[in-house]
């Protein structure tokens, strides 16, 4: 594992992130809990330490390429699944206030177990659908930053995510290197939802091309969005 930790540390250096030994231990423990639980429920197809480090941990932390995380901001991780990118971000930047949102109760219970085992505070796992929670005043336009690694069309993701973001905040979508056509096809939807493209940060993760699409919330999202459950994915805004 020590050699593998060196590879992780090298990746962190590339991102200009430095860890204490305790934070590194938290990542190792997170990996162990993930693999243990993955035996009984489907959390990730990626299970080798090296691959988890690159494709989950470092990919999650690559957000630093686009956003300043050394401040006390509220972050919503929408469609978090096994906790990516929210838990790696919380471990690396303890000052963040993180909410993990997932539609599957079993995953939420796993996330709560991880947070408890790692001794993480000011992080909450919430069970629910984005379409429902975004209409509740305790969540709507309450977050400085919304992030998502979910695999969905950018227009659909924007409809899920932008209603949660405060005016002046940002939504960041983790995408592959081939994003141009998708972004172009989503621009009307983004504008309609109160957002505007701020920048796209492209980078390499190992041999894979990746990009972070940063959308700034420039005005309030109209009340009718997001539409009722299932509609944003079936009929993306155009």
DSSP string, 15-67: TT----HHHHHHHHHHHHHHHHHHTTS---S--SHHHHIIIIIIHHHGGGGTS
Q: What angle do CA 163, 153, 156 make, to 5 degrees?
A: 25
Q: What is the mean pLDDT of residues 48-58?
A: 96
pLDDT the model gives residue 178: 87
Percent of the chain with pLDDT over 70: 99
Q: What is the pTM of this model?
A: 0.96
Q: Among 121, 122, 100, which residue's Cα sits nearest to residue 110? A: 100
Task: Walk me through the domains of the chain, giving residue ranges and CATH numbers.
Answer: 2-234 (3.40.50.150)
């Amino acid at each position: 594992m020590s050699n593998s930790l060196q590879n992780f540390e090298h990746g962190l250096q590339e991102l200009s992130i430095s860890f204490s030994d305790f934070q590194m231990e938290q990542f190792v423990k997170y990996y162990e809990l993930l693999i243990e639980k993955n035996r009984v429920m489907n959390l990730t197809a990626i299970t080798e330490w090296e691959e988890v480090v690159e494709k989950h941990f470092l990919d999650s932390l690559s957000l630093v390429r686009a956003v300043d995380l050394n401040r006390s901001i509220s972050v919503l991780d929408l469609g978090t699944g096994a906790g990516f990118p929210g838990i790696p971000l919380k471990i690396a930047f303890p000052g963040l206030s993180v909410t993990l949102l997932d539609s599957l109760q079993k995953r939420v219970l796993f996330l709560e177990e991880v947070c408890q085992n790692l001794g993480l505070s000011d992080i909450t796992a919430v069970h629910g659908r984005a379409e429902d929670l975004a209409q509740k005043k305790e969540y709507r336009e309450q977050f400085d930053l919304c992030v998502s690694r979910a695999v969905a069309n950018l227009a659909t993701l924007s409809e899920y995510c932008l209603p949660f973001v405060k005016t002046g905040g940002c939504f960041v979508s983790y995408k592959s290197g081939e994003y141009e056509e998708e972004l172009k096809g989503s621009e009307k939807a983004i504008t309609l939802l109160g957002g505007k493209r701020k920048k796209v940060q492209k980078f390499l993760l190992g041999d894979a091309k990746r990009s972070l699409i940063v959308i700034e919330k420039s005005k309030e999202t109209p009340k009718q969005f997001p539409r009722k459950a299932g509609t944003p994915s079936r009929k993306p805004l155009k």
